[in-house]
Structure 1
Amino acid sequence: MQQEMQDLKEKILQVNRDLFILEEDLLFPSSTQVNVFVSYDSLEYFQLDGITLKFNDRPISNHLYTERELAAMNRGAVQRLFTGNLPVGEHELIAIVTGIGPQGRDYRRAVSLDFDKSSGSKYIELIIEGDEYTKQPGFRLKQWE
């Protein structure tokens, strides 16, 4: 009886995994999928507070960071900010970054990227890194090949 229950639990878990994969494929087909990630170089003169993403001037994502997330990113973690669908064609991504900048002042900067969405998945990374010479944070968007 115990063995039958264990076998049934394993079958249920496998069906649940299969359904999750099917749901992901249906919601975000690879032909229209766009993924946006953020990497953050630990900076002594900038503390990340939040990021807003816009596609074609439409807000699509807004994320405020917790201390735990910032600690993970300071250790090298890369965070997925957005997964969604875009049709094939020309698009613009705008990332608005807020935080605490040099001398403890509020800091807000935007960076944009024009890109061509073709068939297949698109991966874009928002890179936040410091410039040691100017002691200012830098922001750039990079397409993964």
Structure 2
Amino acid sequence: MFFSKQWITGAGLALALLGGTPAWSADPAATTTAAPVAAAAAAAPAAAASAPASLDARVQDLKGDVIRLNRDLLVLEEELLFPASTQVALFVSMDVGKLFELDSVQIKLDDKLVTNYLYTPLEVQALHRGGVQRIYLGNLKAGKHEIVAFFTGKGPHERDYKRGTTIKFDKSTEPKYIELRIKDSQAKLQPEFEVKVWQ
């Protein structure tokens, strides 16, 4: 089958107007230019898909850096506000604690009220599971001091129960850590409250 030269030229012109290149084009530059354009078009979706993944990874890395920086700032702030030479920290813990349902703890340091903490049921459960709560952090000068702690809650037979405990201690230039522990006395069937100074 034969086509006139005029028809072929017209078809090539139509393709050129539509933005295409005829397959029978004698121009080799047009063919070689089309191949890289097609490869770039195929690679574009892959690059677009990898861009969000790399962005997510960078965001997660930044979040991790912010968390680490925040932790370091909190430690630095605590060291500045509560230097080791004057630092005193009080903790509350519970050993078994079936004979006492804790409601609140009030602490006086050298006859000055420093904290009055009300507990939620979830916080009491955390103490039952072995958690230790830092209830107070402050500064004390070296010398003799006294802590009085009052525990309020429900004792045996659902009775209202309030009990106090006292400790006198010497504060040196080292930080002082004191634990207020609630424990059950099976012999007396009563809760006991003891104070332990950590060395």
Both structures adopt the same fold (TM-score exceeding 0.5): yes
Indicate how the Cα distance of structure 1 residues 15 and 69 shifts in structure 2: closer, same or farther if over 3 A, else same: closer
2:123 is the alignment partner of 1:69: yes
Find the partner of 1:41 among 70, 77, 95.
95
1:125 corresponds in structure 2 to: 179
1:16-35 alignment runs, 5 A limit: 16-35=70-89
Q: How much identity, in percent, do the aligned residues show?
A: 47
2:150 is the alignment partner of 1:82: no
Shift of 1:15: 4.3
What letter is aligned with 1:26? Answer: L
1-side partners of 2:78 and 2:148: how far apart? 25
Which structure carries more strand by proportion? Answer: 1
Unaligned runs of 5+ in 1: none
Contact 2:97 2:182 in 1 (8 A): no
Higher relative contact order (CA 8 A, sep 6+): 1
Tell me the TM-score normalised to structure 1 length. Answer: 0.89
- Matched residue SS, 2:179: strand
Shift of 1:47: 0.6
1:143 corresponds in structure 2 to: 197
2:169 corresponds in structure 1 to: 115
Which structure carries more helix by proportion? Answer: 2
2-side partners of 1:73 and 1:142: how far apart? 17
2-side partners of 1:102 and 1:87: how far apart? 40
- Cα deviation 1:15-70 (Å, max 9, x = unaligned): 44433222111111111110111111233321111100110010001111111011
2-side partners of 1:36 and 1:55: how far apart? 11
2:43 corresponds in structure 1 to: none
Unaligned runs of 5+ in 2: 1-53
Larger gyration radius, structure 1 or structure 2: 2
Indicate how the Cα distance of structure 1 residues 13 and 109 shifts in structure 2: closer, same or farther if over 3 A, else same: closer
